[in-house]
Amino acid sequence: GPQTGKPKAKRWDNLLSVESRERKPCTLKQAAKHLKKPGLVSLGGGLPSSELFPFAQLAMKVPTAPCFSEKDTLERGQTITIGKYDVRDRDATYDLSIALNYGQSTGSAQMVRFLTEHTEIVCKPPYADWRVCQTIGSTGALEQALRMFCDKDRRDSVLTEEFSFSTALETIAPLGIKAFGCILDDQGLIPEAMDDLLTQWDPEARGARKPHVLYTVPSGQNPTGATQGAQRRRDIYRVARKHDMFILEDEPYYFLQMQPYLGRDQPDAPAPRSVDDFLSSLIPSLVSMDVDGRVMRLDSFSKVLVPGSRMGWVVASEQIIERYQRHAEVASQGPAGFSQVILHKLLDETWGHEGYLRWLMNLRLEYTKKRNALLAACEDHLPRDIVSWSPPAAGMFMWLKVDYAQHPHATHRSLEEIEEEIFTSCIDSGVLVARGSWFLTEKDKPLPGLYFRTTFAAASPEAMNEAIKRFGKAVRDSFAGK
């Protein structure tokens, strides 16, 4: 993505951790640059020879865009093959002999090019020196990013949503870093509350330095399902800028932005008619407003293709991507060659950008149907005077708020006890929901309410209906003092 005419990103030396600043380039990977010299015989690197790779060809059956259904794929999908020497023999750009050998830890140049083009189509970062680097998914990428910016010896801390992705909290805690929660509404982080919290920061009372890292999930936040609108994102960016924070934008659900919910039995909102329509319907990423280069966007194929690919990518400034790469060189070494060659074949050579965006458009409509089925079940089976929710605009989660104050034991039993009672009763009647307390950012604070996270991603409409019926009964029983 080098872009002329745009300013360069700011430098972040002051925010990087000692660990990250200390990283030196990987000596052996640096030597790879000499391999470009024509006629050079390499006895230097430890690359095994591809003649000893026991894979000559892979074959896979995939959908032909735009007929993406499972049935269409089984009946009319195309079977494509990947050979060991397709570059030499079939004029291809990538093959098994390349993908299955060692490479740079950014992942292959072929896949990096596709992802750079994709980022330019979708995000258009407004500064010159942005780059992408492949990852082994956002879980690992977040762990690396946190270690790049946070130092326990500096008493660093991270600001995030009051209820946050539990795995992220479990990544932060053992690094010796504190996580602090900011209150939310149905558009996620509240910028004024963020600003107040940061302005009034007292390091002694808090036991940590004022957070200089914001970890946020702008679309379909896990667990609350909240989606920040465009203005909300601009306001959050402005507050982060005012307090010179670096933003880790975790966007696995960005492309699960759904059609607006117009109400039960209302006609569907018209679907995007073209790829351009679809792209302009998406709320801009924080990276799209990032004039300073203070955002790292974490993207992942997990929710839009397959979680088992263990493939994703980050977008950030050249300085930050270079530091990220230095870490990857001594950790994951980038995503698996099998994953890269398979996704490259599908995305670049078979679908192309247009086909991939059509796949994402199709996913939008599929998730809209699933969400609407869960909403219908909630409307049919939940006691509306006790349980409330807002229809999620993105992602796969719906956050159910239970009005604890109406509970007959509210005065003498804790929120946790009532949460536990409802959760156990749900399990007994055959439904698993996630407890709000699992996601509480500041575990030493009292729970701010009684919440349960449900997902519409996994179960059929019939199964969801039954599950919500069981959840509704568990809530009713508990509130009836049974």
Query: Which residues are near ligand PLP by CB under 6 A?
Result: 137-139, 165, 217, 222, 250, 252, 300, 302, 307, 312
- Among ligand PMP, ligand PLP, none, the one that 46 touches (CB under a kind-dependent 5 to 8 A) is ligand PMP
- The span from the CA of 133 to the CA of 313, in Å, is 5
Phi, psi of 41 (to 5 degrees): -100, 120
**Distance in Å, CB of 332 to ligand PMP, minimum:** 9
Least CB distance to ligand PMP at residue 96 (A): 17
Quote the least distance from Cβ 35 to ligand PMP, whole Å. 16
List all residues 6 or more positions away from 111 whose beta carbon is below 8 Å from its beta carbon: 94, 134, 340, 343, 344, 348
Minimum distance, C-beta of residue 365 to ligand PLP, in the bound complex (Å): 21
Rounded to a whole number of angstroms, the minimum distance from the CB of residue 133 to ligand PMP is 17
- Could you say whether residue 465 binds ligand PMP (CB under 6 A)? no
Q: Which does 250 bind (CB under 5 to 8 A by kind): ligand PLP, ligand PMP, none?
A: ligand PLP
What residue 390 binds from ligand PLP, ligand PMP, none (CB within 5 to 8 A, per partner kind)? Answer: none
Selection from ligand PMP, ligand PLP, none that 334 binds (CB < 5 to 8 A by kind) is none
- Taking the least distance from each CB to ligand PLP, the nearer of 110 and 332 is 332
H helix or E strand, kind and range, residue 58:
strand 57-62
Please state, in angstroms and rounded to a whole number, the distance separating the CA atoms of residues 398 and 332: 33
Within 10 Å of residue 418's Cβ, how many Cβ atoms?
20
Nearer to ligand PLP, 170 or 202 (CB): 170
* CA proximity to 294, closest of 239, 225, 352: 239
Question: Binds 217, which of ligand PLP, ligand PMP, none (CB < 5 to 8 A, cut-off by type)?
Answer: ligand PLP
Whichever of 137 and 211 has its CB closer to ligand PLP, that residue is 137
CA separation for the pair 180, 163 (Å, rounded) = 10
Q: Among 185, 137, 183, 175, which residue's Cα sits nearest to residue 159?
A: 183
Q: How many other C-beta atoms are found inside a 10 Å radius of the C-beta of residue 66?
A: 13
What does the alpha-carbon distance between residue 304 and residue 318 come to, in Å, rounded to a whole number? 26
User: Which CB atom, from 97 or from 138, has the smaller least distance to ligand PLP?
Assistant: 138
**Closest of 328, 326, 482, 315 to residue 407, by C-alpha:** 482
SS (H, E, C) 374-391: HHHHHHHHCCCCCEECCC
User: Nearest approach, Cβ of 333 to ligand PMP (angstroms)?
Assistant: 5
Ramachandran angles phi, psi of 398, nearest 5°:
-125, 135
Closest to ligand PMP by CB, 333 or 362: 333
What mask, x for binding ligand PMP by CB under 6 A, covers residues 332 to 351? -x------------------
Which CB, 134 or 216, lies closer to ligand PMP? 134
Torsion, Cα 376 381 383 387, to 10 degrees, reads: -50
The residue within the footprint of ligand PMP, chosen from 5, 38, 46, 430 (CB under 6 A), is 46
Q: Which does 312 bind (CB under 5 to 8 A by kind): ligand PLP, ligand PMP, none?
A: ligand PLP
Which amino acid makes up residue 444? Answer: D
Minimum CB distance to ligand PLP smaller for 219 or for 425? 219
Q: Which is nearer to ligand PMP, 6 or 29 (CB)?
A: 29
| Partners of residue 61 on adjacent β-strands | 79
State the residue number with the nearest CB to ligand PMP: 46
Query: Minimum CB separation from ligand PLP for residue 374, in Å?
Result: 17
CA distance 103 to 106: 8
Contact partner at residue 293 from ligand PLP, ligand PMP, none, CB < 5 to 8 Å by partner kind: none
CB nearer to ligand PLP: give 222 or 259: 222
Pair of tokens at residue 295:
């955002």
How far apart are the two ends of the chain, measured CA to CA in Å?
62
Q: Which residues contact 454 (CB under 8 A, 6 or more apart)?
A: 374, 397, 398, 399, 400, 433, 434, 467, 468, 471
Of these partners, ligand PLP, ligand PMP, none, which one is at the site of residue 333 (CB under 5 to 8 Å by kind)? ligand PMP
Strand 246-250 with 213-216, pairing: parallel
Name which of ligand PLP, ligand PMP, none residue 222 binds, using a CB cut-off of 5 to 8 Å depending on partner kind: ligand PLP
- The item of ligand PMP, ligand PLP, none sharing an interface with residue 308, based on CB under 5 to 8 Å by kind, is none
Q: Which is nearer to ligand PMP, 92 or 331 (CB)?
A: 331
Only one residue has tokens 């800028």, namely: 241
Contacts with ligand PMP, residue ranges (CB under 6 A):
46, 333
